[in-house]
Amino acid sequence: MAGILTDKKIIVMGVANKHSIAWGCAQAMAAQGATIIYTYQNERLKRSVSRLVKATDNLVECDVADDNSIQDAFSTIKQRFGTVDGIVHAVAYAKKDELGGSILDASRDGYALAQDISSYSLIAVAKAASQFKLLTNPASIVTLTYFGSERAIPNYNVMGIAKAALEASVRYLARDLGPAGVRVNAISAGAIKTLAVTGIKGHGELLKMSEDRTADGNSVTLEQIGNTCAFLMSDLSTGVVGDVIYVDKGVHLI
Structural domains in the chain, CATH included, are: 9-253 (3.40.50.720)
Which residue is catalytic, options 38, 40, 156, 246?
156
Please report, rounded to a whole number, the percentage of residues in the chain having pLDDT higher than 70: 96
**pLDDT reported for residue 197:** 64
Q: Which of 227, 209, 242 is nearest to 143 (CA)?
A: 242
Please report, rounded to a whole number, the percentage of residues in the chain having pLDDT higher than 90: 82
Query: Could you report the per-residue pLDDT of 164-181, keeping only the tens digit for each?
Result: 999 999 999 999 999 999
23 in Cβ contact with 15 (< 8 Å): yes
**pLDDT reported for residue 194:** 67
Known catalytic residue at 156: yes
**pLDDT reported for residue 1:** 65
Query: Could you report the per-residue pLDDT of 78-134, keeping only the tens digit for each?
Result: 999 999 999 999 999 999 999 989 999 999 999 999 999 999 999 999 999 999 999
Which residue is catalytic, options 38, 146, 172, 246?
146
Q: H-helix or E-strand containing 88?
A: strand 84-89
Q: What is the pTM of this model?
A: 0.94
**pLDDT reported for residue 210:** 80
Which range (9-13, 104-108, 152-156) has the least confidence? 152-156
232 in Cβ contact with 140 (< 8 Å): yes
Ligand-binding site membership of 215 (annotated):
no
Ligand-binding site membership of 41 (annotated):
yes
**pLDDT reported for residue 2:** 84
Q: Which of 20, 15, 55, 51 is nearest to 35 (CA)?
A: 55
**pLDDT reported for residue 98:** 93
**pLDDT reported for residue 207:** 76
Ligand-binding site membership of 14 (annotated):
yes
Q: Is the pLDDT of residue 199 over 90?
A: no
CA dihedral 15→21→24→30, nearest 10 degrees, is -50
**pLDDT reported for residue 204:** 75
Q: What is the mean pLDDT of residues 9-30?
A: 96
Q: Is the dihedral of CA 189, 236, 121, 15 positive or negative?
A: positive
Helix axes 157-177, 121-131, angle to 10 degrees: 30
pLDDT band at 244 (very low <50, low <70, confident <90, very high): very high
Helix axes 67-81, 121-131, angle to 10 degrees: 40
Per the DSSP assignment, residues forming a β-bridge with 60 are 39
Ligand-binding site membership of 194 (annotated):
yes
Known catalytic residue at 40: no
Q: What is the mean pLDDT of residues 197-214?
A: 75
Cα distances (angstroms) measured from residue 71 to each of 65, 66, 114: 12, 9, 21
Query: Could you give the CA distance from residue 121 to residue 103 in angstroms, rounded to a whole number?
Result: 23
Look at residue 123 and give its three-state secondary structure: helix
Look at residue 132 and give its three-state secondary structure: coil
Q: Is the pLDDT of residue 203 over 80?
A: no
- pLDDT averaged over every residue in the chain: 94
Q: Is the pLDDT of residue 7 over 80?
A: yes
Fill in the amino acid letter for 123.
I
**pLDDT reported for residue 205:** 78
Query: Could you give the CA distance from residue 116 to residue 94 in angstroms, rounded to a whole number?
Result: 10
